[in-house]
Amino acid sequence: MALLAFTLGWLLLLFAIARAAESKPAWTRLSEHPLIYAMSLGVYATSWTFFGAVGFARTHGVTFIAVCLGPTLAGLLVPSVFLPLLRLVRRHQLATVADLFAFRYRSQALGATVTLAMLFGVLPYLAVQVRAAYLMGPNGRVGVSGLATSIIMGLGKTDQRRAFAGGATAFADVTFGRTTLRGELSVGQNLANIGMLSIGFGGVAHDMPEWGGFISVRHGFTDMHFVYANAGLMRVLARSNVAASYTNTTASDGVVTSALGTTGPGMLHNAGATLGYELRISKNLGFLLEGFVMQTEFQLLSADLARFNPVRQATGGELAAVVTF
């Protein structure tokens, strides 16, 4: 039941991201970035590589290279096959292989048939992924969470409007002996407006979509001594829509005074990494010693761009006591 709930949640998250990529210009630019396209090709080498190619290599020896050789040789056909198809797809706004066949042969029935054939063809891959989740057993967890609401931007003003605020998060963690790995990916919009610890602060004129994530590792040498490390990043997608967090006022004598505004934190991205040690005295008491490095990029007013560096770094350390109940 839990696996079914996660699968449905994951599919809803994918549809939400796809919808945002189609309707939001900032998300569209992100989806068209060459890095995102290259990363999407990695889907080919996920569960199939782990449960398919590895097992094939074990049973058939060096002939498993053919599994990787096929896609590699297909790259030679890019100029003669894939580029003409790409131009055709863009010219007629075709989204799927089924659309391509339906357009070429002017048959909606053929398009439906291709869709069903692809559905049945992908079932073995879905089964492999379900098997992977099952094999994680008690040593691993996967999950999704979401938050959605409607808020009023510019309450009381003539240009007030309603806007969507919320986001979705997917996470996975796995434990090997005394070591735990965890990864998390999140997307959202206007999250800072509803009090979330985020940098996406929307306004009357613009919504503020953002994305981010982190990865962490924790290892226990004994029941008392642990080391941990994590690194994460949060970045807004519509950089040009971020307003500076301050205003400048020039007096008659030419003195410029800056003051904090009400337009949010004015951050374009925020990244950080931590390395620490934990001494666990008892089940309820522990002490932490950690060092961190952070980098933040701020939106500056045009008059300040030549005078200040918008990127700031900070390093530091922390000693803390943790009490759990």
The DSSP letter of residue 184 is: E
| C-alpha dihedral sign at 23, 24, 30, 36 | negative
Mean pLDDT of the chain: 79
Burial of 303 (0-12, 13-18, 19+ CB in 10 A): exposed
Residue 238 has pLDDT above 90, yes or no: no
Does position 22 have pLDDT exceeding 80, yes or no?
A: no
253 in any annotated domain? yes
Question: What own/partner pairs with CB < 8 Å and gap ≥ 24 does 260-267 have?
Answer: 263/201, 263/203, 264/192, 264/199, 264/201, 264/203, 264/208, 265/192, 265/199, 265/201, 266/242, 266/298, 266/299, 267/199, 267/236, 267/242, 267/296, 267/297, 267/298, 267/299
Q: What is the pLDDT of residue 51?
A: 57
**Residues 115, 118, 119, 120: is their CA dihedral positive or negative?**
positive
pLDDT(293) > 90: yes
pLDDT at 109: 79
In a domain, 105, yes or no: no
User: pLDDT at residue 195 above 90?
Assistant: no
Does residue 29 sit in helix, strand or coil?
helix
Give how many domains the chain has, as a whole number: 1
Q: Is residue 126 part of a domain?
A: no
For 148-182, what is each residue's pLDDT tens digit? 887 888 776 777 788 888 888 888 888 878 888 88
Is 296 a residue whose pLDDT tops 80? yes
The domain of 168 spans: 139-323
Of the pLDDT bands very low, low, confident and very high (cuts 50, 70, 90), residue 111 is confident
Indicate whether 213 pLDDT > 80: yes
CA 69/CA 62 separation, integer angstroms: 12
Average pLDDT over residues 243-266: 79
Higher pLDDT pick, 61 / 296: 296
Amino acid 25: pLDDT: 74
**Residue 314 has which token pair?**
């900070």
Identify which of 52-56, 91-95, 269-273 has the greatest average pLDDT.
Answer: 269-273
pTM of the model: 0.57
> Residue 160's pLDDT is what?
79
The three-class DSSP label of residue 90 is: helix
d(CA 187, CA 184): 10
The reply to whether 55 falls in a domain is no
**103 within domain boundaries:** no
